[in-house]
Structure 1
Amino acid sequence: MVYTTKKPLRFGDCDPSGIAYFPSYLNILVGVLEDFFASLGFPWKAMTDERRIGVPTVRLDLTFRRPGFQGDELDFALAVHGIGRSSLDMEHTVSARGIELWTAKHRIVATSLDSHASLPWPDDIRTALTSHLETPHAHHPAT
């Protein structure tokens, strides 16, 4: 099940010409990931403060196809493609005005905020993530 959300592309996210400044996309993407975990019942503040679990990015491969512009409403689609012992592999597709703007292959890893070592996904989080796991036969937007 793909997680979808909308985010505005604001004035502060763009260069002087009104085109999206690509580092701003990454900041927005982190917010989408945070919203995804909250939608599963695992807000990051509780994960970090109470459970001492972090989810740093260890791989991020972006492909930009078209520019985004100030005022665009960005449509994010997050698909879970793999769940390892401590890793989570996702693909993001970002569109605006019905046009695909960029895609990303993204891996995060569950880590202990005390030791900074990877740790296995706790069973409750793994179960929630598994409910979003895409099957190999599921339809995916063209990349």
Structure 2
Amino acid sequence: MFKTQRPLRFGDCDPSGIAYFPSYLNILVGVVEEFFEAVGTPWDTMIAERRMGTPTLKLDLTFVRPGIHGDLMDFEIAVKRVGNSSLDLSHRISCKGELLWSAEQRLVATSLDTHTSCPWPDDMRKAFSSHLESP
């Protein structure tokens, strides 16, 4: 499981100091980018050299409790499934051990030249599979 932390900053919150939920998505994109880098496939290399993108096909969010300005959020990413061109990730976001929100996400490998799905290269498939969560 991949783990990292992000603070909930002033600009991520509404005037009452509670997290503005679209900000969570922006933060999540940065966390997923960090995950790809940690498994050896940084997005800048994927985009510039491999001409690949990873758009989100599906994203299911569940909010449990509000995040408050200043919270240090703990992000955990588990790889649930590696398909031919898809990748299913499970996200848990907590603060001080309490779940704030969770997400189930499906990414798809795409060619930036044809804008169609493409299979994961073997090295990326192997990197994702090494993080595959046991059922």
TM range (shorter): over 0.9
* C-alpha distance in 1 between matches for 2:127 and 2:89: 14
Q: Show CA shifts across 1:19-48 (max 9, x none).
A: 000000000000000000000111101100
Q: Is the aligned partner of 1:37 residue 2:36?
A: yes
Q: Is the aligned partner of 1:117 residue 2:116?
A: yes
What amino acid does structure 1 have at the position aligned with 2:16?
Answer: S
Q: Is the aligned partner of 1:6 residue 2:12?
A: no
Work out the number of aligned pairs and report it.
Answer: 135
Q: Show CA shifts across 1:52-78 (max 9, x none).
A: 000000000000000000000000000
2:89 corresponds to: 90
Aligned-pair RMSD on alpha carbons? Answer: 0.5
Identity of aligned residues (%): 63
Q: Show CA shifts across 1:58-115 (max 9, x none).
A: 0000000000000000000000000100000011000012210001010000000010
Q: Which aligned segments of 4 or more residues in structure 1 are displaced greater than 4 angstroms?
A: none
Instruction: List runs of 5+ in structure 1 lacking aligned partners.
Output: 137-143
TM-score (norm 2): 0.99
Q: Is the aligned partner of 1:53 residue 2:52?
A: yes
Q: Map 1:60-139 to 2 at 5 A.
A: 60-136=59-135
* C-alpha distance in 1 between matches for 2:131 and 2:115: 26
